[in-house]
Amino acid sequence: TSHRHKPDAKRWDHRLTPETLNRGGSSLKAAAAYLKTPGLISLGGGLPSSEYFPFHEIDVKVPLLGHCAQGEEGSEVLRAGMHDMAEGKSAFDIATAAQYGQGHGAAQFLRWIVEHTEIVHNPPYQDWSCTMTVGSTCAWDFALRMLCQPGDWILSEQYTFPAAVETAAPLGVKVAGVAMDENGMLASSLDHVLTNWDEKVRGGPKPFVLYTVPTGQNPTGSTQPIERRREIYGVCQKHDLYIFEDEPYYFLQMQPYKGPDASPIPPPASHEEFLNSIVPSFLSIDVDGRVMRSDSFSKVIAPGSRVGWITASEQMCDRFRTHADVCTQGPSGFSQLILFKLVDEIWGHSGYLDWLIHMRLEYTRRRNVMMESCERYLPKDIISWVPPMAGMFHWIQVDYTQHPKWIDGSVTMDELEEEIFQTIIRHGTLLMKGSWFCAERTKPRNTMFFRATYAAAKFDQIDEAIFRLGSAIRDSFGLRK
Ligand code: PMP
Ligand code: PLP
């Protein structure tokens, strides 16, 4: 196949924890292999009979793709029956989906996932593999248990997704922040932190795991361009790091933002143009097999579906799956069935790419509404920002040094941030405080930010919320209205 001339992944035995090395997998699940024996009557697995599954048919109304693109209503029905597979009607059915399965997910859906991964990332080593997850939150927990032990440190962007830190903390794993600019994590800072790591000062060994959100980063909205990704990958090779690439926003890469009055930029004319327009992933440049990429349907289909997957070397996928076998047992069968029917039987790879282009255009419109409102209402001598290229977040910087209370020295940074936060709420808008996202929460800061999302509110509400934000800032800083 197409992998033939690619190198094999590096082995990670020197990094794996006793927890993951001690996982032998599920002995009962291993017995499923014998079910292929012709004529065998199974009195083995404790599988309830599908006769007793009180769901005989599932109908789900889904949008008609062609209509979405035109902004019109329109739907079709996705139907799953109990024995569609035996009856030759479908590659998946209720009897199978509602039954016990394997930790890596249903084989038919996993095949679609592997094909999609090959189309989008085409990893440059031979023995890559995918295994399903119940989303990136859980995938990160699994990865931490595979790689880290109490007392270890990992690395992340200096502002990061709080749940990533909160997953690590109770495992005794601390996070060292890497400085960022508008293009995300700085390779030079990553190298600096590692080169100057002092075990005595930090109280732990030099880290070897990098957690990064390269695209539409939460909370900063920054996206690492490919040159930055290559530089970071080079530093990871130099220090032998393992990279966890958490990419829930990968397909929320938007059309370029050209300012409030710019004429609209034509959408990608073909799938090829679309795929060429998005920044290549770490996975796609991972010649060593040092990346575990986590994809999730949460942001492009629905968070409650709780379905995602990781892509990594066979060795790492195998360790991951042996955990899933005795923990999540893979994502919910109902979720898998409905998603599979949608992305494989109704859409196919091509239709899924059409959906992703649709999402790109929708998020572009939302982002543009927020940027235009910010241009209109925010005092630019105090507030500054870089329009995001991807994701759902707008990272708003406040020049706190102009605040009267900062000038007279009556408040700390945290107190002032809280006061501005409360003023914004009094004016009727909720933003998230930047300090909630600090990887190292006790480290002094010299910048103040608030995070806004354009993902959910109606357009007129986004506009109103930003108008209120402008009034709140003027109020707090004692500027004339
Ligand atoms: N506990 C016991 C004693 C069981 O027999 C089983 C199913 N074989 C389970 C737990 C697994 O339950 P679940 O499907 O809810 O994970
Ligand atoms: N990772 C990041 C960076 C996120 O921002 C989020 C969602 O807020 C998640 C992971 C959660 O993803 P999932 O729903 O797949 O667990």
Helix (H, G, I), strand (E, B) or coil at 192: helix
CA–centroid distance, 130 to ligand 1, in Å, is 26
Give the domains, in start order, of the chain with CATH numbers.
360-476 (3.90.1150.10)
The DSSP secondary structure of 320-335, one letter per residue, reads HHHHHHTTT-SS-HHH
Q: Which residues of 360-394 are buried (b: 16+ CB within 10 A; e: fewer)?
A: bbebbebbbbbbbbbeebbeeebbebebbbbbbbb
User: Which residues make beta-bridge pairs with 313?
Assistant: 128
Helix (H, G, I), strand (E, B) or coil at 433: strand
Which of 159, 217, 246, 328 has most ligand 2 atoms within 8 Å of its beta carbon, as the pocket-test mutant?
246
| Ligand nearest to C-alpha 47 | 1
| Ligand nearest to C-alpha 330 | 1
CA–centroid distance, 219 to ligand 2, in Å, is 11
pTM over 0.80: yes
In ligand 1, which atom is closest to the CA atom of 46?
Answer: 8
Q: Which pairing describes strands 291-296 and 242-246: parallel, antiparallel, or unpaired?
A: parallel
Burial of 420 from C-beta contacts in 10 A (0-12 / 13-18 / 19+): buried
- Protein residues with CB under 6 Å of any ligand 1 atom: 46, 329
In ligand 1, which atom is closest to the CA atom of 329?
Answer: 16
| Nearest protein Cα to ligand 1, atom 6 | 46
Strand order in the sheet with 128-133: 128-133, 308-313, 291-296, 242-246, 209-212, 153-157, 174-178
- Which residues, other chains included, contact 446 with Cβ-Cβ below 8 Å and sequence gap of 6+? none
* Furthest CA-CA distance within the chain: 86
Q: Cα–Cα distance between 337 and 325 in angstroms, integer?
A: 19
pLDDT tens, residue order, the chain (481 aa) = 455 689 999 999 999 999 999 998 777 778 888 888 999 998 888 899 999 999 999 999 999 987 776 667 789 999 999 999 999 999 999 999 999 999 999 999 999 999 999 999 999 999 999 999 999 999 999 999 999 999 999 999 999 999 999 999 999 999 999 999 999 999 999 999 999 999 999 999 999 999 999 999 999 999 999 999 999 999 999 999 999 999 999 999 999 999 888 888 899 999 999 999 999 999 999 999 999 999 999 999 999 999 999 999 999 999 999 999 999 999 999 999 999 999 999 999 999 999 999 999 999 999 999 999 999 999 999 999 999 999 999 999 999 999 999 999 999 999 999 999 999 999 999 999 999 999 998 888 999 999 999 999 999 999 999 999 999 999 999 997 6
| Nearest protein Cα to ligand 2, atom 12 | 136
Do 257 and 371 meet the contact criterion of CB atoms below 8 Å apart? yes
Helix (H, G, I), strand (E, B) or coil at 155: strand
